[in-house]
Amino acid sequence: MLDFRPPKLNPLIVRLTKALTPPIIKKHQKVSEISVDDKSRQILSSVRNESAVLVPNHSDYADAFVMFLLSREIDATFNYMTASEIFLEGRFRAWKSFLIQRLGGYSIIRGSVDRDAFRTTRQLLQAGERPIVIFAEGGLTRQNDTVTPFESGVVQLCFWALDDLRKADQLKPVYAVPVGIKYIYDQNIWSDIELALSRLELEILPEKPLTDLQPYERLRLIGTKIMEVLEKEFRIKVDSETTLDLRINTLREEILQRIETFMEIKVDLETDFRKRIRLLKNTIDAELFKETEELSEYERKVHRQRSEIFRQFYIDIERLTNFITIYEDYVIEERSQERFMDVIKRLENEVFGQTKTQSLRTAQIRVGQPKNLTEIYDSYCQNKREVVQEVTLDLESSVQDLINTMTVPIEGQMDFSFPA
């Protein structure tokens, strides 16, 4: 069980980190700068010292760093709800945990009733000294253009904070603020795309150089070969005329059902697959970080053994979120180098276990109109579940709308022909 990591905000460390991190983020996260329009700045200024939750999409590992750069840009300080595993990753875990907490971060065990995290969030909202950043998608999506379904827990925490404020006879505005983040490459990266395609071809198609084909055709052939390997691994038989989308869906369903069966999770097969993936992630996290202090030594041994089995499923879940969430026309729908590189990065993660292609990007940020939840608190008290769901869907839709407003420059669009 991971001990709760509370926020231990240190203004001096925040100021020093703001001064030192931009070049570090540029080097390691490949974010050269952030771009925030004037309207978004005004909105953020209006809630910088209020009880507010900033709700961005979570498409990239760099998102948390981008939100920190945003706080630097507007001269504000945020708190950050942070997945527990972040505190455990890497060689410098103790140092990383120290820094995250001093910058305002605190841990939460996803998929569990993390009372410490819930209580801390409610207390921070009651105090209303600074906004809290919470990624409502519940995990990394790698979808630069598309928002995945939000978890309702973010909105529920806001209303619980309002319950606390009412009991203390201190009812005041509590805001939920939609934030859209979209990454745009700083320059033409087609040479990087060409290199990435060649690297993938050498790894999985060494006998068949494809440089005489259009880039999109090469990408399709690479993706098809990977599908063939995975279908063979999972013993899935497909007809030669089966569309790529159907093959992707079949493989996705096979992996999902295998894990759900092992974990004894019963779900409606009509449920959105992204929600099912999130449920699996949450179930694994809940098991790995399960409280064991009151268990016997034998029970702890069994738990350790079970945890090792659960950890093995991370590979398949990573595969689900990494490669199989792409659909056949993803690149064609918006002929941009950003979407092309989205797919390449997923394929690199599948083939190499990491992303090898790194090009500098600008993080565009747009902030939507804050939603004052206090104004609908009476409605919430009468119909809690329905109101929470409505606000959650509204936030999700608002973030998607913000992302849609951020267009790709003409020089980043594809200028080569596509197959029919």
- pLDDT for 411: 54
The residue assigned the tokens 């103790």 is 94
Examine the pLDDT at 315 and tell me if it is beyond 60. yes
Q: Which stretch of 62-76, 120-134, 262-276 has the lowest confidence by average pLDDT?
A: 262-276
In the structure, what pLDDT confidence band is assigned to residue 418 with cuts at 50, 70 and 90? very low
The per-residue pLDDT of the chain, averaged, comes to 89
362 sits in which H/E element: strand 361-367
Q: Are 252 and 320 in contact (CB under 8 A)?
A: yes
**Superfamily holding 11-187+360-412:** Glycerol-3-phosphate (1)-acyltransferase (3.40.1130.10)
Examine the pLDDT at 38 and tell me if it is beyond 80. yes
pLDDT in tens, 326-382: 777 888 888 889 989 989 999 999 999 888 888 999 999 999 999 999 999 999 999
The percent of residues in the chain predicted with pLDDT above 70, rounded, is 94
- Looking at the whole model, is its pTM more than 0.95? no
- Concatenated DSSP letters of 158-178: HHHHHHHHHHTT----EEEEE
Question: How many CB atoms sit inside 10 A of residue 94's CB?
Answer: 9
Q: Is the dihedral of CA 122, 391, 147, 53 positive or negative?
A: negative
pLDDT in tens, 166-205: 999 999 999 999 999 999 999 999 999 999 999 999 998 8
Encoding tokens for residue 354?
């990491």
Q: Which stretch of 70-74, 196-200, 263-267 has the lowest confidence by average pLDDT?
A: 263-267
Examine the pLDDT at 245 and tell me if it is beyond 90. no
H helical segments located in 51-205: 63-73, 93-102, 115-127, 153-167, 190-204
Encoding tokens for residue 207?
């006998």
User: By 3-state DSSP, what share of the chain in percent is helix, strand and coil, each rounded to 5?
Assistant: 55, 10, 35
pLDDT in tens, 393-414: 999 999 999 999 997 665 555 5
d(C-alpha 409, C-alpha 186), whole Å: 10
Question: How many CB atoms sit inside 10 A of residue 60's CB?
Answer: 24
The residue assigned the tokens 């993660």 is 349
- pLDDT for 326: 73
Examine the pLDDT at 283 and tell me if it is beyond 90. no
Amino acid residing at 221:
L
- pLDDT for 409: 62
- pLDDT for 140: 85
Residue-level length of the chain: 420
Amino acid residing at 251:
L
In the structure, what pLDDT confidence band is assigned to residue 76 with cuts at 50, 70 and 90? very high
- pLDDT for 359: 93
312 sits in which H/E element: helix 297-322
Nearest in space to 104 (alpha carbons), one of 4, 6, 2, 3: 6
Examine the pLDDT at 82 and tell me if it is beyond 90. yes
3-state secondary structure of 81: strand
Examine the pLDDT at 161 and tell me if it is beyond 90. yes
Measured between its terminal Cα atoms, the distance across the chain in Å is 53
- pLDDT for 275: 83
Query: Where exactly are the structural domains of the chain?
Result: 11-187+360-412, 190-352
R_g (Cα) of the chain, nearest Å: 22
